[in-house]
Each structure stands twice: as C-alpha cells, then as structure tokens.
Chains A and B, each alone.
Chain A
Amino acid sequence: MAAGVAAWLPFARAAAIGWMPVASTPMPPPPREKRRGQDGLIILNVSGSRFQTWRNTLERYPDTLLGSTERDFFFHEESNEYFFDRDPDIFRHILNFYRTGKLHYPRHECISAYDEELAFFGIIPEIIGDCCYEEYKDRRRENTERIQDDEENENSKDMVPPDMSFRETMWRAFENPHTSTMALVFYYVTGFFIAVSVMANVVETVPCRSEQNRAKEVSCGERYSVAFFCLDTACVMIFTVEYLLRLIAAPSRYKFVKSVMSIIDVVAIMPYYIGLVMSDNEDVSGAFVTLRVFRVFRIFKFSRHSAGLRILGYTLKSCASELGFLLFSLTMAIIIFATVMFYAEKGSTSSKFTSIPAAFWYTIVTMTTLGYGDMVPKTIMGKIFGSICSLSGVLVIALPVPVIVSNFSRIYHQSQRAEKRRAQKASKQAGQALVCKTNPTFETQHHHLLHCLEKTTNHEFVDEQTYETSCMEVSLAKASMSRSSSMSSSPHGLSSCCTRRNKRKSFNVPNSNMVAGRRGSIQELSTIQIRERPVNNSRSSLNAKFEETVPLNSEEQSYITAAVISMPTPPVTTPESGALGNCPDFLQSNIVRVSAL
C-alpha cells in the first residue's frame, strides 16, 4: 500500500460510522493506540548536509535503519541530531523513498556506491520504482559482468590450480589459447592449416595451363593432383588430431559431441575419409565429388577463432522469424507475378515462358532488379505486367529489408528486455513482499476496520479454499437432503453458493458429478484471511508486537489479512486444518501472488 494512503485511514475509519445503523450486532472494540511522543521533526545530518523530516515519515518503514531503533546508534548528543558519515547526494534519494514510497535510481550515480548506501540504510533494491528499475538492473548487470570478466582474466592468467589433471589442463588450453604458450602455438597452427586447406580447395579449381601445351585446359587440381592430395591429407590429419584431442579433453563428452563446433569439425573431415574408403568405386564417384563440397565447411572452423562470426550466427538465428516472413511474402509475390506473366505470354510464339515454374526465374530476376535479359516478355500485356513486376519488386524487396533490419535490432533488444523484465518481476515481487512492512499501528487499525465491516454484514472474510470447502459442504448437505426429499430447494442453494468457482483450481471432490456444469470465473484479487487462535508458539516478532498493542483482542479471534500485510506471515494452522492440510504452502505461495497494494 502506498505510504500516503495510510494517512487516509482515519477517514476510512470515520466513514465506517455509515455502517452502524445497518449493523445488527455490536462492533468489536477499537485497538488501543500506543500514545507515541508527539510527531516531531528529526534532524538528519549527513556529512554536513542537514535533512529534516517528520518522525512519522521515517517510521513508515520500520524495517530499515532510519525507521527502527537502529538510528539511535547514530544519535549525536551535543547537537541533538542524528549524524551519518555517508554520501549526502545519494542520501537525498533514500530520504525521498520515505517521503513518497518510491525509490528512484539516479542515472549519474555509480551503481556500486548506490548499492552500498542502500545496503547501509537497510533498503532492498527490489523496491526501486518501475521508472528506474530497468536502468538499475542493466547497470548492475554490466557492473557484475565487468567484474566477472576482470576476475576471469586475472584467474586465467595467474592462478593455475596445481592439482588440475592433465585432461583439465588440455581443455583449458583449448578453450583459452592465452593460458600457455603451447596453447597459443596450437591455436595459430590450426588457424593456419584451416586457411591453407580452404585456399587449396579454392585454387584446386583454377584452370592451369597444362604442361604439354595442349589446347585443353585442366584445373590445377588435376594437374598437381598429388601435391593437392598431400596437402589435403596433412590438413585432415591435423584436424583429426585436434578433434580427437578435444574429445578426450572435454569434461562432458556427450555435450561436446552435440555442440555445433564439433559437428562442423566432423563435417569438415568426413569427406576425406569417405573419399579414401570409396575411391575405387566408379559409381559413387559422382557422390564423392559432391562430398568435396562439404570441405568448404572448414571455413566455419574459423568461428572458433573469431567472436564476430559467432555473434553473426547467433544474430541470424534469433532473426529467423523475420527472415522467414520476408521469404514468405516474396514467395507470394513471385507466385502471383509468375502466374500473371505466364498467362500473359501464353499467346506469343516462341515464348520462353513455357510454364509457371519457368516464369519463376523471370519474376525473381526482375523483382530483385537483376534483369539478366535471358527471358523477356514479348506481348504488350506481358510487358505491362513485367514493368509492374519490376516496380513492385523494388517495393517488396527494398522496403522491408531496412524495416526488417531495424525491426530485428528493435526486437532483439526488446526480447532481451522482456526476458529481463520477466526474470526481474518474480524476484521483484518476492522482494517487495519481504520488504514493505508497514506500520503496525496502521495494521491494527485497518484490521479493526475490516472487522467492523464483517460485523455489519454478519459475514466473515475467508480465503478461497475455505470458501470452496464450505461451498462443498453446503452443497453436499443439500444434495444428501435433496436425495431424500424433493429437489426444489437445492438448485437455488447450489447455484448461488458455488456458481463462481475458480476454474483454475483443481479440487478433489468425491462427488464429482455435482460440480459438473459449473461456470468458472477467474478471480482477480486473491487474498487470504487466516483465522488465528491466540496461540503464542508460532509468531514472528512483528506479530508479538501486534499482540502487545492489542491486548483487548486477545479474547476474541484476531484477523490477519495477508493481502494488506505484505510481510511473510508465518504459516499458522487454521481451525479447519483437516480440509486445509496444505494451507501453509498455499499461504507461502500466495504471499508473493498477493494483489499489490
């Protein structure tokens, strides 16, 4: 609940006089209020800057340093003020939190300094308001990452745990080439051989003048086939050895085999071995040639050496849906125009547009404004549609691409932010539930107000489960009655009691046929009310304080509304403990789920 609303509680209580004539039962006595000292000003001297505020303002949050008796440790007798040797600029924000109930994070402040001040004054950062929470979390994450990176760099350079096994050393050498000279050498050697292998694959296909000066030109690969074969063998040797070494050194072999890099390695060296095995068989030589294409995958091995390549791959992967949509819209346009062009050119003689798939090629070439010219329309209608095709090609391709690029960057950042927010929300609610302890006097008075409402209406607040158990009991009783007597009375009772059962709750009822056909509705506010006998063995310190300020209520049952108290109420056994055996878990889980007041 906002701190300011607490100031309106007297008004709400006064307005309760409006219920009195309607009530038929007497009201519960009001809680006796502790006569506190008169609300005075407190002077807070923070490194010379004097802040002043009301005592009540600070005591809104009794769980923090300033709101509790902990501040007495900082009381300075001579000047009759509280002195804190801390940063006054950041303190301004902390004091604003007490005043407005919202904690803000100033962007110009250093995140670690801010965190330290919050920790000193006992304020949990999870209650930072929505306006500043994202910025705070971003800065904090950057900071921790930077610290972690620094630590890792230091660790990897200096600290070598002496008892690392040979296997672990090898793995570390593979992953971080900078750890030792041997690893660096290995890193550069493999990089060199990848480059050599790729260059050999490329040069292999270049036509060389044959030595016999014949008219027929052969590719270099065929001319120097032995040399290329030796080169290829050497490269594959190196790659194989590297792969086997990585496989041995990997901490989790199964995970290593599944990883992308290892698949690329396998694909890069497999063609050679397959070629070795099957080189004598003429039938599969065609397939063998195809396999050589896969040797180009060796270039992807560079992604171990280049972080940028990895980022690009990840980028494409995350942008896949946008690219897919572009492809889909292009396909639609291509099919439409190809069909139109085919039918437009059907009439002309010697037309290249022999079928719609044949027209696909024309459409693609025209829409991407390539315009090879190998297929051109000859009829007038064909030319008209061809020009429409090329104009719309500009629109269809040129427009969405920048949109997709910016879309991708926006969506990428947004999804990062959305995931962050989702992760933060859970911890934020948990933090808020733990931290926003409100004034106990406020709590007792609010309980008394709700108690008066109950007395006025002769009904009590209960939680969902108790409500449903009571509904079930009523319906069971009525059903058993109705079985013996007529059904006239039961439908009304059943329908009014249980029509609004929450569909999401799974409820084990022995007579499940009775609950068939109920409408369910989703309950927005879910709150709990726990009826608590004054048992002293399971109370937190706050409840103990509650008891001492409300001595009159000890004879009656005192009600604690978990929706209002956003503090973790200790799980207490309710009177209907038989039906609510799982109540404590329900309570604990519901604390976080409580409506945010």
Chain B
Amino acid sequence: MGVVLGTFSMHTKQVNYRTDKVDDELEMTMVSHRPEGLEQLEAQTNFTKQELQVLYRGFKNECPSGVVNEETFKHIYAQFFPHGDASTYAHYLFNAFDTGNNGSIKFEDFVMGLSTLLRGTVRDKLEWTFHLYDINRDGFINREEMTEIVRAIYDMMGKYTYPALKGDVAKQHVDTFFEKMDKNKDGVVTLEEFVIACQEDENMMRSMQLFENVM
C-alpha cells in the first residue's frame, strides 16, 4: 500500500508542462514600422500628398507590418509575371530599393526609389539603373554581373516563347550591351561611361520617359 502511494507521489512531481513557450514566439512577429510624417516625405520626394497617400494605402494593404521583406517582395513581383520565374530579378530589385541594406524595405525606401524612377531627372534614373546592375556595389559593372541581370530578365519570360530561347541568348545580349557601353574597352562599365552611352541612345532616352505618368 505504501509502495503504491509512493509511486503515485513520485509521478506527480514531474508533471510540469511548459505552455509559456508558445507566447514568446507570437510576440516576435508583431513588429511594425510607421513611416515618417507625410510632410517630411513630401519634402524628400517628388510626389504630391495625394500620390503619397495612394502609394501608402497600396503598400500597407500588402504589407500590414509596414516593412517588406524579400519573400513578400518576390511574391508580389512574381504575380505580375506569371509566365516565368521573376524571383531572381526581384532579388536584384529588392537590393536596389533596400538602400540601407538591412534586408527589408520600409515605406520611405520604397517611395524614394519610386520617386527617382518616376519623377527623377534622366541622370537620376540612369544612376539608379546603374546601381541596379552593379550587384556588388563596387562602382563597376563587369561581364558577370551583366550576364546575371540579363539572365534574370530572361527567366521572367518563362519557357514558352517565340522564338524559342536558346542557351546563349543572354551572352549575345551582354555582348551587345558591352559593345555599346564600354567605351575604353577595359571590360567594365563605369557610371560615367554608362550615362554617356545611354544619353547617346535615342531609343533608350525615349523609353526612359515612357513611364512618367504611371502614377
């Protein structure tokens, strides 16, 4: 009888379930970020108040926490290109927008980037594009970086294209690009070479103005 009671009491000591671990994890996901005031943003960018409002509403709708991380960014961007794989290009875009290099895009970064793209001067746009291509931020675009970018763009096309994609299509594009841009033929393109070469190209200048009234 005593043995039975003893074994019972021994058992009850160890019943100590930890249920509080779950709550810790919940709190971590509730990070949210609020942007700076509307006037400040209006001063820093070239958007009007109404445009900023519309932008923020769309931004907040997809990212209620106030920041976009790379996964969400890729997901959103991929929805516009259902045919192929937009994740590589989205990755480079993300890095281009994430000027602070902290792995997430806040609304300010987003709006600054858009302001450059839509309302900036031609030089601003070209600089932005140069920074997009310059993956390792060393100030030069070399062949490998360009090939990466072009391949990422072709990935967005997907499989079913006409004419069908051949293996070396990216290389041809890169060669054309370097022929046009690399003036001193040193194998890399600097910012100045890029800007000058682009400004000489009529088509490109016209294309850059294409998206002026996107907002």
Contacts and interface: CB of A to CB of B under 8 A. Distances in A.
Interface centre among B54, B96, B114, B160 (most CB of A within 10 A): B160
A560 to B, nearest CB: 13
B93 A9 contact: no
Contacts of A1: 79
Given A18-B93, A19-B153, A22-B149, A27 B159 contact: no
A264 interface: no
A450 B84 CA distance: 11
Given A12-B80, A461-B83, A525-B82, A30 B160 contact: no
A497 B158 CA distance: 13
B157 A453 contact: yes
B87 to A, nearest CB: 13
A500 B159 contact: yes
A52 to B, nearest CB: 14
Nearest to A8: B76
Contacts of A563: 82-83
A26 B62 contact: no
Given A9-B80, A17-B211, A21-B204, A457 B164 contact: no
Contact of B157 (A9, A461, A466): A461
Contact of A17 (B57, B62, B129, B154): B129
B2 interface: no
Interface residues of B, number: 59
Interface stretch (A129-137, A425-433, A467-475): A467-475
A462 B207 contact: no
Contacts of A462: 160-162
B160 A22 contact: no
Interface in B163-215: 163-167, 169, 173, 176-177, 181, 194, 198, 203-204, 206-208, 210-211, 213-215
B58 A8 contact: yes
B83 A14 contact: no
A20 B166 contact: no
A7 B61 contact: yes
Given A26-B203, A453-B156, A459 B194 contact: no
B52 interface: no
B128 interface: yes
A493 B54 CA distance: 49
B117 interface: yes
B208 A10 contact: no
A26 to B, nearest CB: 5
B118 interface: yes
Contacts of B153: 19, 22, 453, 456-457
B134 to A, nearest CB: 12
A2 B80 CA distance: 11
B203 A17 contact: no
Contact of B161 (A8, A22, A26, A467): A467
Contacts of B169: 457, 459
Nearest to B170: A457
B164 A4 contact: no
Interface string B107-139: 000100010011000000100110011000000
Given A4-B58, A497-B166, 5 more contacts: A5-B80, A8-B76, A459-B157, A467-B164, A527-B160
20 contacts: A8-B76, A10-B114, A10-B118, A11-B114, A15-B93, A18-B92, A18-B96, A21-B177, A22-B149, A26-B207, A27-B206, A33-B213, A453-B81, A453-B157, A457-B153, A459-B161, A461-B158, A461-B162, A462-B162, A464-B160
